[in-house]
C-alpha cells in the first residue's frame, strides 16, 4: 500500500511536471476557444476545472452550447449542413463519432506521444477512425455489467425449487442461457420481473449487437454488408423473444430506455439488470433505491461462443478541422482528459480511460466492499469490451434494425422474417450510400 | 443620370415581399430542391447530387411510409371528431352557466397552455405499464391483475395518443364554439320555442346550423395541427414499438435529423403536405356550404 502511495505520488508529480511542461504560462494569451459540450449533472463537474486551464494559458473558453448528446448530435449535423463550424472543441462519443468523418481533426500530431500512451490502448484504438485519432476519451467509459438482487441467491427455498426445475445450482448467471432461465424463474408479473431490457433505438440494437458477438457472430462483414442474419443473430434475437413471451420482462420494455431501466431496478421489481456503471451509486443509495444494500454486481455474462458481451462506448473531446488555433484547442482537450481531470470525474463513479487512473480508483475503493465489487466487475467486463462497428451508417442502421427486433419480440413477425427484413434494409442502405 | 423610380405601391409592399421571400419562399424552394438530391446533413456536398425523383419513388414504394400516412389519417379522423363532440358539449354546458362563467372559460384553456412535450411526458407516465397511474388505479380497484401494456399494444397505444391529443386540444373547439354560441341571434331560437320545438329540436335545427361555420374553422385549424402531430407522439412512443404508432412526422423527423437523410425526409414531407391540403380544402368547402345555407355566403 505504502509503495503504491509513493509510486502514485511520483506518478502524480510526473503528471504535473508534464502538465506544466505542456502548458507554458500565457502560451495562448488572447486566444478564445468556442466549445460545444455535453450538459447534464454528471458531466458538468469537470467544466469547473476550465478556469484553471484559462489561468495557466491565458486563453479563454467560451461554451457556446451545452446539451445532451442526442441534441448536440442534431446541432452538429445542422452546423455541418450550414457550413457553420465556427467552434473549436466539441464533446464526442464513440458511438456518434463515425458519423462526422470530416468534422474533426487528427489529434496525434497535436499531442505528445506520451500523453496518448497514458490511455487504455483499447480506448485509443476505438477513438481512431481511418487512422485519425478523432477524440481523447474522458473518464466516462461505459460498458454494461450485471446488477442483481443478492437476496434472491441466499434463499434456500428458491435454490431448491430452481435446481428441481432446471437441474443445476442457482448461482449468479455466467452465461446468457443461465440468465434467461433465472429471469423466467424469478418472474412473478405484474409485481416482479426477472429482468428488463432497453427496447428501442440504439439501446436494443446495441444489446442485440453484443449478444450476437458473444454468440460468435458479427454484425457486419468486412465490407460492411450486414452479417447479423445468421444462426448467431437468430439465437440472439430468440433470447429477447423468449423473455418477452414468458412474461419475464415488463410488457412495456420495448419502450424503455436507460432511465426507465435504472428506475425500474431501483424500484425493487427487477431481479437481474444489465446496466451501465453510472448507476452503481444510485442503486445502492437508500434515499433513491429500494434495493440499496442488496445489490450485487458481476461481470457481464457470456454468449454461446464463450465470449462476454461488451458493447462499450465512451465520451471524449474533439477538435474541429475548421478550428483556427488547433494547438490551443488540443491543449484544452488534453487538460480535460488528463490524470487530474479523470481522477476528479471517476471519483463520482464513472469509469476512467487512463491506465493510471484505473489503478488509483481501484486502490481508493479498497475500503468500500460495494465499490470494490462494482469496479472489479466492470474492469473484468472492460477487458474484452468492444466499440460499435466503425461505419458512419451505424446509427442509421440501428434505426432500420430496431423496429424489426421489436416486431419479433412483440410477435408481429417471426425471428427469421424480422432479421431478413432488417438485413435487406441495411443492405440497401449500404448500397445506396455506395459502401459497396 | 437616369434614376430608376419604383411605383409607390411597390415600394410600400417591398418589405412584405422581402420578408415573405426570406421566411417562406426560399426555404420552401430549397427544401423542394433538396428533395430531388441525395442531400445528407453530415455531407453538405451531397446537396448538389441530383438524383431526380428517386426519393419520391422510394417513399411511394415504401410500405412503412404508407402505413404511417394511413395512421395519420386515422388519427386526424378520430381526434378531430372526438374533440368536436367533447368541445361542443363543453361549450353548450359552459354557455348555460351564469355564475363564474369567466373562471370556467379560463380553466377550460389550461390544457392548451401546457407545452406538448410536457403533455407527452404526463401521459407517458399515466399509461406506463409498470409504475403508471392508470394501471395502478385499475389494479387497486381490483378491475385487473395484469399490467396492461398501454403503450405497447398497437391499438391501445394509438388510443393513448388520441387521449393525449384530445385532452390538450378539446378546448380549442370549446372556445371557438362558445364564441359561436354567443354570436347566435336570439330571434330564431325564440321563434322555434314559440312554434313548440323541443329543446333537442331547437338545438339540432336552429343552434347547430349556426355553429357549423365555427366548427369547420376549428376543424381546419386542428387538422393542420394533427396532421403535423409530432411532439406528443415522439415523447410517448417515438412511433414504436415495431412502428405500431409511427406517424408521418415521427418517421420524417427521424429520417431527417437522426439518419441525416434530409433529401429523402423532404420528399416524404412534400408528399405528406398533400394530406394537409386535402383536409383543408375539404373543411373550407364545408365551411362555404354552411355559410351559404345561413345566407352568410357571397
Q: What are A128-162's pLDDT values in tens digits?
A: 998 999 999 999 999 999 999 999 999 999 999 99
Domain CATH code at residue A12: 3.40.190.10
Residue A410 counted as domain residue = yes
Q: What is the pLDDT of residues A345-395, one digit of tens each?
A: 988 878 999 999 998 998 988 899 999 999 999 989 988 899 999 898 998
A395 CA to chain B: closest CA distance, Å?
7
A396 CA to chain B: closest CA distance, Å?
5
Question: B258 to chain A: which residues are within 8 Å by CB?
Answer: 73-74, 395-396, 399
> Percent of chain B beyond pLDDT 90?
42
> Looking at the structure, do residues A98 and A43 belong to the same domain, yes or no?
yes
Q: What is the pLDDT of residues A83-110, one digit of tens each?
A: 889 999 999 999 889 888 889 999 999 9
- Nearest residue to B40 (alpha-carbon basis) of A321, A425, A222, A101: A101
Residue A133: count of CB within 10 angstroms of its CB? 22
A65 CA to chain B: closest CA distance, Å?
18
- Supply A252's cell numbers: 412495456
- Check: CB of residue B244 under 8 Å from CB of residue A200: no
Distance CA A302, CA A310 (A): 9
Domain range enclosing A199: 145-309+393-432
Q: What is the pLDDT of residues A390-416, one digit of tens each?
A: 898 998 899 999 999 999 999 999 999
Average pLDDT of the residues in A22-35: 83
| Residue B136 pLDDT grade (very low, low, confident, very high; cuts 50, 70, 90) | confident
- Supply A216's cell numbers: 460468435
The residue ranges of DSSP E strands in chain B, in sequence order, are: none
Distance CA A144, CA A344 (A): 22
> Percent of chain A beyond pLDDT 70?
94
pLDDT of B2 reads 63
> Looking at the structure, do residues A126 and A234 belong to the same domain, yes or no?
no
- Check: CB of residue B229 under 8 Å from CB of residue B209: no
> Looking at the structure, do residues A241 and A138 belong to the same domain, yes or no?
no
Residue A357 counted as domain residue = yes
pLDDT of B297 reads 54
Any A CB within 8 A of B261 CB: yes
Residue B127: count of CB within 10 angstroms of its CB? 27
Residue B259 counted as domain residue = yes
pLDDT of B1 reads 55
> Looking at the structure, do residues A166 and A64 belong to the same domain, yes or no?
no
Place of cell 509503495: A3
The residue ranges of DSSP E strands in B181-290, in sequence order, are: none
- Supply A97's cell numbers: 463519432
Indicate the SS3 state at residue A223: coil
Question: A252 to chain B: which residues are within 8 Å by CB?
Answer: 128-130, 147, 149-152
Residue A71 counted as domain residue = yes
Residue B18 counted as domain residue = no
pLDDT of A17 reads 39
Q: Is the pLDDT of residue A12 over 70?
A: no
Residue A284 vs residues A260, A262, A356, A360, A368: alpha-carbon distances, Å = 17, 12, 26, 22, 12
- Check: CB of residue B140 under 8 Å from CB of residue B56: no
Q: What is the pLDDT of residues B187-240, one digit of tens each?
A: 888 999 898 889 899 988 888 989 998 999 888 888 888 887 888 999 898 887
Q: A148: part of which helix (H) or strand (E)?
A: strand A145-149
**Counting Cβ atoms within 10 Å, is residue A420 exposed (0-12), middle (13-18) or buried (19+)?**
middle
Residue B229 counted as domain residue = yes
Any B CB within 8 A of A81 CB: yes
Ranges of H-type helices in B40-115: 54-60, 63-96, 101-108, 110-113
Interface of A with B in 318-337 (CB under 8 A): none
Question: A255 to chain B: which residues are within 8 Å by CB?
Answer: 151-152, 237-238, 240-241
> Percent of chain B beyond pLDDT 70?
98
Domain CATH code at residue B156: 1.10.3720.10
Indicate the SS3 state at residue A348: coil
Domain count, chain A: 2
Domain count, chain B: 1
Q: Is the pLDDT of residue A42 over 80?
A: no
> Looking at the structure, do residues A135 and A156 belong to the same domain, yes or no?
no
> Looking at the structure, do residues A179 and A288 belong to the same domain, yes or no?
yes
Distance CA A260, CA B68 (A): 27
pLDDT of A201 reads 85
Q: Is the pLDDT of residue A1 over 80?
A: no
Strand partners, B37: B50
Distance CA B30, CA B19 (A): 16
Q: What is the pLDDT of residues B242-267, one digit of tens each?
A: 889 999 989 999 888 888 889 999 99
**Does the interface ipTM go beyond 0.95?**
no
Domain range enclosing B226: 62-293
Amino acid at each position: 500500500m505504502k509503495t503504491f502511495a509513493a509510486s502514485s505520488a511520483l506518478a502524480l508529480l510526473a503528471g504535473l511536471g508534464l502538465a506544466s511542461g505542456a502548458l507554458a504560462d500565457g502560451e495562448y494569451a488572447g486566444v478564445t476557444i468556442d466549445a460545444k459540450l455535453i450538459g447534464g449533472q454528471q458531466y458538468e463537474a469537470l467544466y469547473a476545472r476550465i478556469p484553471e486551464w484559462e489561468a495557466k494559458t491565458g486563453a479563454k473558453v467560451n461554451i457556446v452550447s451545452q446539451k445532451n448528446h442526442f441534441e448536440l448530435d442534431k446541432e452538429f449535423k445542422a452546423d455541418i449542413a450550414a457550413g457553420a463550424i465556427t467552434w473549436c472543441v466539441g464533446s464526442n462519443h464513440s458511438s456518434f463519432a463515425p458519423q462526422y468523418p470530416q468534422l474533426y481533426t487528427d489529434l496525434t500530431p497535436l499531442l505528445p506521444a506520451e500523453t496518448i500512451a497514458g490511455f487504455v490502448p483499447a480506448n485509443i484504438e476505438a477513438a481512431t477512425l481511418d487512422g485519425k485519432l478523432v477524440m481523447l476519451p474522458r473518464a466516462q467509459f461505459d460498458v454494461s455489467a450485471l446488477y442483481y438482487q443478492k437476496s434472491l441467491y441466499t434463499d434456500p427455498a428458491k435454490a431448491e425449487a430452481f435446481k428441481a426445475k432446471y437441474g443445476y445450482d442457482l448461482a449468479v448467471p455466467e452465461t446468457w442461457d443461465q440468465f434467461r432461465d433465472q429471469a423466467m424463474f424469478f418472474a412473478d408479473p405484474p409485481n416482479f420481473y426477472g429482468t428488463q431490457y432497453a427496447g428501442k433505438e440504439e439501446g436494443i440494437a446495441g444489446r442485440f449487437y453484443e449478444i450476437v458477438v458473444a454468440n460468435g457472430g458479427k454484425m457486419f462483414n468486412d465490407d460492411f454488408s450486414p452479417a447479423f442474419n445468421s444462426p448467431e443473430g437468430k439465437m440472439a434475437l430468440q433470447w429477447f423473444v423468449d423473455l418477452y413471451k414468458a412474461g419475464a420482462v415488463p410488457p412495456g420494455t420495448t419502450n424503455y430506455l436507460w432511465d426507465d431501466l435504472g428506475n425500474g431496478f431501483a424500484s425493487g421489481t427487477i431481479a437481474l439488470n444489465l446496466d451501465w456503471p453510472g448507476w452503481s451509486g444510485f442503486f445502492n443509495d437508500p434515499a433513491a433505491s429500494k434495493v440499496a444494500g442488496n445489490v450485487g454486481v458481476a461481470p457481464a455474462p457470456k454468449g454461446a461462443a464463450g465470449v462476454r458481451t461488451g458493447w462499450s462506448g465512451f465520451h471524449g473531446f474533439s477538435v474541429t478541422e475548421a478550428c483556427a488555433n488547433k494547438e490551443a484547442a488540443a491543449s484544452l482537450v488534453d487538460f480535460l482528459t488528463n490524470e487530474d481531470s479523470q481522477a476528479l470525474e471517476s471519483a463520482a463513479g464513472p469509469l476512467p480511460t487512463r491506465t493510471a487512473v484505473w489503478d488509483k480508483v481501484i486502490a481508493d475503493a479498497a475500503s468500500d466492499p460495494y465499490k470494490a465489487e462494482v469496479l472489479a466487475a466492470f474492469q473484468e467486463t472492460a477487458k474484452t469490451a468492444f466499440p460499435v462497428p466503425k461505419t458512419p451508417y451505424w446509427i442509421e442502421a440501428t434505426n432500420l434494425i430496431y423496429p424489426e427486433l421489436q416486431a419479433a419480440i412483440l410477435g408481429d413477425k417471426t425471428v427469421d422474417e424480422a432479421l431478413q427484413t432488417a438485413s435487406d434494409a441495411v443492405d440497401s442502405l449500404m448500397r445506396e450510400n455506395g459502401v459497396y | 443620370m437616369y434614376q430608376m423610380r419604383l411605383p409607390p405601391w411597390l415600394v410600400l409592399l417591398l418589405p412584405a415581399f422581402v420578408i415573405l421571400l426570406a421566411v417562406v419562399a426560399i426555404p420552401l424552394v430549397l427544401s423542394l430542391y433538396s428533395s430531388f438530391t441525395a442531400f445528407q446533413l453530415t455531407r453538405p456536398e451531397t446537396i448538389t447530387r441530383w438524383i431526380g425523383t428517386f426519393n419520391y419513388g422510394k417513399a411511394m414504394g415504401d410500405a412503412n411510409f404508407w402505413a404511417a400516412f394511413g395512421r395519420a389519417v386515422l388519427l386526424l379522423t378520430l381526434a378531430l371528431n372526438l374533440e368536436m363532440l367533447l368541445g361542443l358539449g363543453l361549450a353548450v354546458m359552459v354557455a348555460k352557466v351564469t355564475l363564474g362563467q369567466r373562471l370556467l372559460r379560463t380553466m377550460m384553456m389550461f390544457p392548451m397552455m401546457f407545452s406538448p412535450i410536457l403533455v407527452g411526458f404526463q401521459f407517458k407516465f399515466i399509461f406506463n405499464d409498470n409504475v403508471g397511474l392508470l394501471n395502478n388505479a385499475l389494479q387497486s380497484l381490483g378491475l385487473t391483475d395484469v399490467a396492461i401494456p398501454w403503450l405497447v399494444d398497437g391499438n391501445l397505444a394509438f388510443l393513448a395518443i388520441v387521449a393525449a391529443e384530445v385532452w390538450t386540444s378539446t378546448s380549442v373547439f370549446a372556445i371557438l364554439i362558445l364564441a359561436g354560441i354567443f354570436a347566435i341571434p336570439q330571434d330564431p331560437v325564440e321563434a322555434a320555442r314559440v312554434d313548440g320545438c323541443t329543446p333537442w329540436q331547437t338545438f339540432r335545427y336552429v343552434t347547430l346550423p349556426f355553429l357549423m361555420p365555427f366548427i369547420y374553422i376549428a376543424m381546419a385549424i386542428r387538422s393542420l395541427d394533427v396532421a403535423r402531430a409530432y411532439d406528443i407522439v415522439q415523447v410517448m412512443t417515438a412511433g414504436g414499438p415495431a412502428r405500431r404508432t409511427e406517424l408521418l412526422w415521427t418517421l420524417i423527423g427521424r429520417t431527417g435529423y437522426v439518419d441525416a437523410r434530409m433529401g429523402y425526409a423532404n420528399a416524404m414531407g412534400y408528399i405528406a403536405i398533400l394530406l394537409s391540403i386535402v383536409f383543408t380544402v375539404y373543411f373550407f368547402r364545408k365551411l362555404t356550404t354552411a355559410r351559404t345555407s345561413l345566407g352568410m355566403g357571397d
